[in-house]
Structure 1
Amino acid sequence: MRKFSLMTVVVAMAAMLGVSFAGVASGAENCAHRFGSHQQVADGGGMQDWSVTDLKKSSDVAPGFPVAGQLWEATATVTAISGTSTPVIPNFNATSDGGNYPVLWQLATPQGISAATLAQGQTATGKIYFDATGGDPMAVIYSAGGAKPLMWCCSEAMMAMPMDTCMCCADMKEPCPCCAGKM
Protein backbone atom coordinates (compact mmCIF):
# COMPACT_ATOMS: atom_id res chain seq x y z
CA MET A 1 0.00 0.00 0.00
CA ARG A 2 1.35 3.43 -0.94
CA LYS A 3 1.86 5.97 1.84
CA PHE A 4 0.91 9.57 1.07
CA SER A 5 2.29 12.61 2.85
CA LEU A 6 0.01 14.88 4.84
CA MET A 7 0.50 17.72 2.36
CA THR A 8 -0.31 15.44 -0.59
CA VAL A 9 -3.61 14.53 1.07
CA VAL A 10 -4.37 18.16 2.01
CA VAL A 11 -3.58 19.45 -1.49
CA ALA A 12 -5.75 16.73 -3.03
CA MET A 13 -8.61 17.59 -0.64
CA ALA A 14 -8.21 21.26 -1.46
CA ALA A 15 -8.35 20.56 -5.19
CA MET A 16 -11.51 18.46 -4.81
CA LEU A 17 -13.18 21.11 -2.67
CA GLY A 18 -11.90 24.08 -4.65
CA VAL A 19 -10.13 25.38 -1.56
CA SER A 20 -7.45 28.01 -1.61
CA PHE A 21 -5.16 28.40 1.39
CA ALA A 22 -4.54 32.02 0.49
CA GLY A 23 -7.52 33.02 2.69
CA VAL A 24 -7.74 35.75 5.29
CA ALA A 25 -4.72 36.45 7.44
CA SER A 26 -3.71 39.06 9.92
CA GLY A 27 -1.57 41.98 8.85
CA ALA A 28 1.38 40.65 10.85
CA GLU A 29 1.13 37.16 9.33
CA ASN A 30 0.24 36.97 5.66
CA CYS A 31 0.65 33.21 5.38
CA ALA A 32 -2.87 31.91 6.02
CA HIS A 33 -2.01 28.31 6.86
CA ARG A 34 0.68 29.00 9.49
CA PHE A 35 -0.06 28.55 13.19
CA GLY A 36 -1.18 31.87 14.61
CA SER A 37 -2.79 33.10 11.40
CA HIS A 38 -6.38 34.35 11.50
CA GLN A 39 -8.93 32.67 9.25
CA GLN A 40 -12.63 33.29 8.89
CA VAL A 41 -15.62 30.99 8.46
CA ALA A 42 -19.34 31.70 8.16
CA ASP A 43 -21.49 30.68 11.12
CA GLY A 44 -25.18 30.70 10.25
CA GLY A 45 -25.90 34.40 9.82
CA GLY A 46 -22.59 35.55 11.31
CA MET A 47 -18.86 35.27 10.77
CA GLN A 48 -16.19 33.77 13.04
CA ASP A 49 -12.46 34.49 13.09
CA TRP A 50 -10.34 31.55 14.29
CA SER A 51 -6.67 31.30 15.21
CA VAL A 52 -4.85 28.16 16.38
CA THR A 53 -1.41 28.17 18.03
CA ASP A 54 0.97 26.03 20.03
CA LEU A 55 0.21 22.46 18.90
CA LYS A 56 2.19 20.24 21.28
CA LYS A 57 2.13 17.19 23.53
CA SER A 58 0.00 17.97 26.56
CA SER A 59 0.83 17.43 30.20
CA ASP A 60 -2.79 18.22 31.17
CA VAL A 61 -5.01 15.60 32.79
CA ALA A 62 -7.95 14.28 30.74
CA PRO A 63 -10.55 13.81 33.49
CA GLY A 64 -12.95 10.97 32.75
CA PHE A 65 -11.47 10.28 29.31
CA PRO A 66 -9.38 7.16 28.71
CA VAL A 67 -6.59 8.43 26.43
CA ALA A 68 -5.53 5.61 24.11
CA GLY A 69 -2.41 7.34 22.75
CA GLN A 70 -0.66 10.60 23.58
CA LEU A 71 -2.73 13.63 24.61
CA TRP A 72 -1.97 16.66 22.41
CA GLU A 73 -3.23 20.22 22.79
CA ALA A 74 -3.43 23.45 20.85
CA THR A 75 -4.73 26.86 21.85
CA ALA A 76 -7.72 28.09 19.85
CA THR A 77 -9.16 31.61 19.79
CA VAL A 78 -12.48 32.51 18.20
CA THR A 79 -14.03 35.95 17.76
CA ALA A 80 -17.58 36.68 16.62
CA ILE A 81 -16.90 39.17 13.83
CA SER A 82 -20.50 39.74 12.80
CA GLY A 83 -23.70 38.66 14.49
CA THR A 84 -23.77 36.10 17.26
CA SER A 85 -21.55 33.08 16.86
CA THR A 86 -21.44 29.65 18.47
CA PRO A 87 -18.03 27.94 18.34
CA VAL A 88 -18.48 24.39 17.04
CA ILE A 89 -15.57 22.66 18.73
CA PRO A 90 -16.24 19.20 17.15
CA ASN A 91 -15.27 20.67 13.75
CA PHE A 92 -11.56 20.40 14.69
CA ASN A 93 -9.19 17.56 13.78
CA ALA A 94 -5.44 17.20 14.13
CA THR A 95 -3.64 15.36 11.34
CA SER A 96 -0.37 13.55 10.85
CA ASP A 97 1.11 11.56 8.00
CA GLY A 98 -0.53 8.45 9.35
CA GLY A 99 -3.60 9.59 11.20
CA ASN A 100 -6.52 11.90 11.74
CA TYR A 101 -7.41 12.71 15.32
CA PRO A 102 -10.83 14.22 16.09
CA VAL A 103 -10.88 16.88 18.77
CA LEU A 104 -11.85 15.62 22.22
CA TRP A 105 -14.74 18.09 22.40
CA GLN A 106 -16.35 16.14 25.24
CA LEU A 107 -13.27 16.65 27.44
CA ALA A 108 -14.34 19.24 30.00
CA THR A 109 -11.37 21.04 31.57
CA PRO A 110 -11.00 24.54 32.98
CA GLN A 111 -8.36 25.21 30.27
CA GLY A 112 -10.67 24.16 27.40
CA ILE A 113 -12.26 26.62 25.00
CA SER A 114 -15.90 27.37 25.74
CA ALA A 115 -18.59 26.49 23.22
CA ALA A 116 -20.89 29.21 24.62
CA THR A 117 -22.48 31.56 22.09
CA LEU A 118 -20.56 34.81 21.60
CA ALA A 119 -22.10 38.20 20.89
CA GLN A 120 -20.58 40.24 18.07
CA GLY A 121 -17.09 41.37 19.09
CA GLN A 122 -16.69 38.82 21.90
CA THR A 123 -13.73 36.42 21.97
CA ALA A 124 -13.12 33.03 23.60
CA THR A 125 -9.70 31.39 24.02
CA GLY A 126 -8.83 27.98 25.39
CA LYS A 127 -7.25 24.64 24.66
CA ILE A 128 -8.49 21.96 22.29
CA TYR A 129 -7.29 18.39 22.84
CA PHE A 130 -6.54 15.42 20.59
CA ASP A 131 -5.79 11.75 21.35
CA ALA A 132 -2.92 10.95 18.96
CA THR A 133 -2.87 7.17 18.58
CA GLY A 134 -0.39 7.19 15.67
CA GLY A 135 2.14 9.68 14.35
CA ASP A 136 2.62 13.09 15.91
CA PRO A 137 0.11 15.67 14.62
CA MET A 138 1.53 18.33 12.30
CA ALA A 139 -1.61 20.32 11.46
CA VAL A 140 -5.01 21.32 12.82
CA ILE A 141 -8.00 21.50 10.47
CA TYR A 142 -11.41 23.09 11.09
CA SER A 143 -14.07 21.79 8.72
CA ALA A 144 -17.59 23.18 8.81
CA GLY A 145 -19.31 20.83 6.38
CA GLY A 146 -19.82 22.61 3.07
CA ALA A 147 -17.58 25.53 4.02
CA LYS A 148 -13.94 25.64 2.98
CA PRO A 149 -11.82 23.94 5.66
CA LEU A 150 -9.39 26.08 7.61
CA MET A 151 -5.89 24.69 8.19
CA TRP A 152 -3.00 25.60 10.45
CA CYS A 153 0.45 24.05 10.19
CA CYS A 154 4.10 25.08 10.19
CA SER A 155 5.78 27.10 12.89
CA GLU A 156 9.34 27.67 13.98
CA ALA A 157 8.58 25.90 17.29
CA MET A 158 7.49 22.77 15.42
CA MET A 159 10.76 22.50 13.50
CA ALA A 160 12.10 20.22 16.26
CA MET A 161 9.57 17.66 15.00
CA PRO A 162 10.16 15.62 11.81
CA MET A 163 8.45 17.91 9.31
CA ASP A 164 10.23 16.77 6.15
CA THR A 165 7.02 15.33 4.71
CA CYS A 166 5.18 18.66 4.92
CA MET A 167 6.12 20.63 1.81
CA CYS A 168 5.10 23.85 3.55
CA CYS A 169 7.33 23.21 6.58
CA ALA A 170 10.33 21.23 5.37
CA ASP A 171 12.87 24.07 5.28
CA MET A 172 12.10 27.09 7.39
CA LYS A 173 15.48 28.68 6.49
CA GLU A 174 13.86 29.87 3.28
CA PRO A 175 10.45 31.51 2.95
CA CYS A 176 7.64 29.00 3.27
CA PRO A 177 6.99 27.57 -0.23
CA CYS A 178 3.24 27.64 0.35
CA CYS A 179 3.39 31.34 1.16
CA ALA A 180 6.04 32.54 -1.28
CA GLY A 181 5.40 36.16 -2.14
CA LYS A 182 2.74 36.55 0.59
CA MET A 183 4.96 37.25 3.61
Structure 2
Amino acid sequence: MSILETRQFRWPDEPACERFAQALAGCPQIADLSIELEGGLGAGKTSLVRHLLRALGVTGRIKSPSYAVVEDYLPPSLNGLPAHHFDFYRFNDPREWEDAGFRDLFAAPGLKLSEWPAKAAGMLPPPDLRLTLDVQPDDSREVRAEAHTARGQALLLDLAHILQA
Protein backbone atom coordinates (compact mmCIF):
# COMPACT_ATOMS: atom_id res chain seq x y z
CA MET A 1 0.00 0.00 0.00
CA SER A 2 1.63 3.23 -1.12
CA ILE A 3 1.85 6.38 0.99
CA LEU A 4 1.21 9.61 -0.91
CA GLU A 5 1.97 11.99 1.92
CA THR A 6 2.97 11.91 5.57
CA ARG A 7 2.59 14.55 8.27
CA GLN A 8 3.61 14.56 11.92
CA PHE A 9 1.52 16.13 14.67
CA ARG A 10 2.03 16.43 18.42
CA TRP A 11 -0.69 16.48 21.04
CA PRO A 12 0.77 17.69 24.34
CA ASP A 13 -2.56 17.07 26.10
CA GLU A 14 -6.23 16.09 25.70
CA PRO A 15 -7.31 19.58 24.52
CA ALA A 16 -4.79 19.23 21.65
CA CYS A 17 -6.44 15.95 20.66
CA GLU A 18 -9.80 17.72 20.71
CA ARG A 19 -8.48 20.61 18.55
CA PHE A 20 -7.10 18.05 16.07
CA ALA A 21 -10.51 16.32 15.92
CA GLN A 22 -12.26 19.66 15.38
CA ALA A 23 -9.84 20.44 12.55
CA LEU A 24 -10.55 17.02 11.00
CA ALA A 25 -14.28 17.73 11.24
CA GLY A 26 -13.70 20.96 9.32
CA CYS A 27 -12.23 19.18 6.30
CA PRO A 28 -14.76 18.65 3.50
CA GLN A 29 -13.41 15.16 2.71
CA ILE A 30 -14.39 13.82 6.14
CA ALA A 31 -17.95 12.93 5.05
CA ASP A 32 -16.77 10.04 2.87
CA LEU A 33 -13.45 8.80 4.21
CA SER A 34 -11.90 5.71 5.73
CA ILE A 35 -9.51 6.37 8.63
CA GLU A 36 -7.50 3.66 10.37
CA LEU A 37 -6.33 4.36 13.91
CA GLU A 38 -3.22 2.56 15.12
CA GLY A 39 -1.64 2.65 18.57
CA GLY A 40 -1.42 0.66 21.75
CA LEU A 41 -3.98 0.44 24.52
CA GLY A 42 -4.51 3.89 26.00
CA ALA A 43 -2.92 5.74 23.08
CA GLY A 44 -6.03 7.87 22.56
CA LYS A 45 -7.74 6.25 19.55
CA THR A 46 -11.20 6.16 21.12
CA SER A 47 -10.74 9.65 22.60
CA LEU A 48 -9.98 11.00 19.14
CA VAL A 49 -13.07 9.29 17.70
CA ARG A 50 -15.28 10.71 20.47
CA HIS A 51 -13.93 14.22 19.94
CA LEU A 52 -14.39 13.88 16.17
CA LEU A 53 -17.97 12.62 16.43
CA ARG A 54 -18.80 15.45 18.87
CA ALA A 55 -17.25 17.98 16.46
CA LEU A 56 -19.44 16.52 13.70
CA GLY A 57 -22.53 17.15 15.83
CA VAL A 58 -23.22 13.80 17.48
CA THR A 59 -25.03 14.26 20.78
CA GLY A 60 -25.75 11.67 23.44
CA ARG A 61 -23.57 8.78 24.46
CA ILE A 62 -20.71 7.76 22.19
CA LYS A 63 -19.91 4.16 23.06
CA SER A 64 -16.73 2.25 22.41
CA PRO A 65 -17.57 -0.58 20.02
CA SER A 66 -15.18 -3.00 21.75
CA TYR A 67 -17.82 -5.72 22.16
CA ALA A 68 -20.24 -4.80 19.37
CA VAL A 69 -17.36 -4.29 16.85
CA VAL A 70 -19.23 -1.37 15.23
CA GLU A 71 -21.31 1.59 16.42
CA ASP A 72 -23.23 3.66 13.87
CA TYR A 73 -24.02 7.38 14.02
CA LEU A 74 -25.73 9.98 11.82
CA PRO A 75 -23.74 13.17 12.47
CA PRO A 76 -25.75 16.24 11.38
CA SER A 77 -22.75 17.79 9.62
CA LEU A 78 -22.27 14.81 7.26
CA ASN A 79 -25.43 15.72 5.31
CA GLY A 80 -27.21 12.41 5.81
CA LEU A 81 -24.14 10.18 5.45
CA PRO A 82 -23.41 7.80 8.33
CA ALA A 83 -20.32 7.49 10.49
CA HIS A 84 -19.27 3.95 11.47
CA HIS A 85 -16.88 3.44 14.38
CA PHE A 86 -15.22 0.01 14.24
CA ASP A 87 -13.10 -1.58 16.94
CA PHE A 88 -11.53 -4.81 15.71
CA TYR A 89 -9.62 -5.51 18.96
CA ARG A 90 -11.69 -8.64 19.72
CA PHE A 91 -12.14 -9.60 16.08
CA ASN A 92 -11.03 -13.21 15.61
CA ASP A 93 -12.93 -14.84 12.80
CA PRO A 94 -12.87 -13.61 9.19
CA ARG A 95 -16.35 -15.07 8.74
CA GLU A 96 -17.59 -12.33 11.10
CA TRP A 97 -16.65 -9.84 8.38
CA GLU A 98 -19.10 -11.28 5.85
CA ASP A 99 -21.79 -12.21 8.39
CA ALA A 100 -21.84 -8.71 9.86
CA GLY A 101 -22.08 -6.97 6.48
CA PHE A 102 -18.86 -5.00 6.97
CA ARG A 103 -17.98 -5.30 3.28
CA ASP A 104 -21.19 -3.40 2.45
CA LEU A 105 -20.51 -0.74 5.10
CA PHE A 106 -17.01 -0.08 3.75
CA ALA A 107 -18.28 0.03 0.14
CA ALA A 108 -21.01 2.59 0.93
CA PRO A 109 -20.45 6.34 1.28
CA GLY A 110 -19.82 7.66 4.77
CA LEU A 111 -17.12 8.02 7.40
CA LYS A 112 -15.41 4.83 8.52
CA LEU A 113 -13.21 4.98 11.65
CA SER A 114 -11.35 1.73 12.38
CA GLU A 115 -9.47 0.98 15.58
CA TRP A 116 -7.13 -2.03 15.61
CA PRO A 117 -7.31 -2.49 11.80
CA ALA A 118 -4.50 -5.08 11.85
CA LYS A 119 -6.95 -7.51 13.49
CA ALA A 120 -9.00 -7.37 10.25
CA ALA A 121 -6.01 -7.39 7.91
CA GLY A 122 -6.76 -8.73 4.48
CA MET A 123 -10.44 -7.81 4.75
CA LEU A 124 -10.32 -4.04 5.08
CA PRO A 125 -10.00 -1.97 1.94
CA PRO A 126 -7.03 0.42 1.89
CA PRO A 127 -7.69 3.46 4.10
CA ASP A 128 -7.69 7.01 2.84
CA LEU A 129 -5.81 8.00 5.98
CA ARG A 130 -3.93 6.10 8.67
CA LEU A 131 -3.23 7.78 12.00
CA THR A 132 -0.64 6.17 14.27
CA LEU A 133 -0.70 7.45 17.86
CA ASP A 134 2.42 6.96 19.96
CA VAL A 135 2.45 7.79 23.70
CA GLN A 136 5.58 9.67 24.75
CA PRO A 137 7.29 9.50 28.18
CA ASP A 138 5.72 12.88 29.13
CA ASP A 139 2.25 11.45 28.24
CA SER A 140 2.00 13.59 25.10
CA ARG A 141 1.14 11.93 21.78
CA GLU A 142 3.14 11.88 18.57
CA VAL A 143 0.76 11.34 15.66
CA ARG A 144 1.89 10.14 12.27
CA ALA A 145 -0.69 10.78 9.54
CA GLU A 146 -0.30 8.86 6.29
CA ALA A 147 -2.42 9.57 3.22
CA HIS A 148 -2.96 6.44 1.11
CA THR A 149 -5.37 7.94 -1.45
CA ALA A 150 -5.78 11.26 -3.25
CA ARG A 151 -8.76 12.01 -0.99
CA GLY A 152 -6.62 11.34 2.09
CA GLN A 153 -3.86 13.53 0.67
CA ALA A 154 -6.30 16.40 0.08
CA LEU A 155 -7.56 16.01 3.65
CA LEU A 156 -4.02 16.13 5.05
CA LEU A 157 -3.32 19.36 3.15
CA ASP A 158 -6.57 20.93 4.38
CA LEU A 159 -5.89 19.70 7.93
CA ALA A 160 -2.41 21.26 7.95
CA HIS A 161 -3.85 24.62 6.80
CA ILE A 162 -6.61 24.56 9.43
CA LEU A 163 -4.20 23.70 12.25
CA GLN A 164 -1.73 26.42 11.19
CA ALA A 165 -4.42 29.12 11.11
Common topology (TM > 0.5): no
When Rg is computed on C-alpha atoms for both structures, the one with the higher figure is 1
TM-score when normalising by structure 1 = 0.27
- Structure with more helix by fraction: 2
TM-score when normalising by structure 2 = 0.29
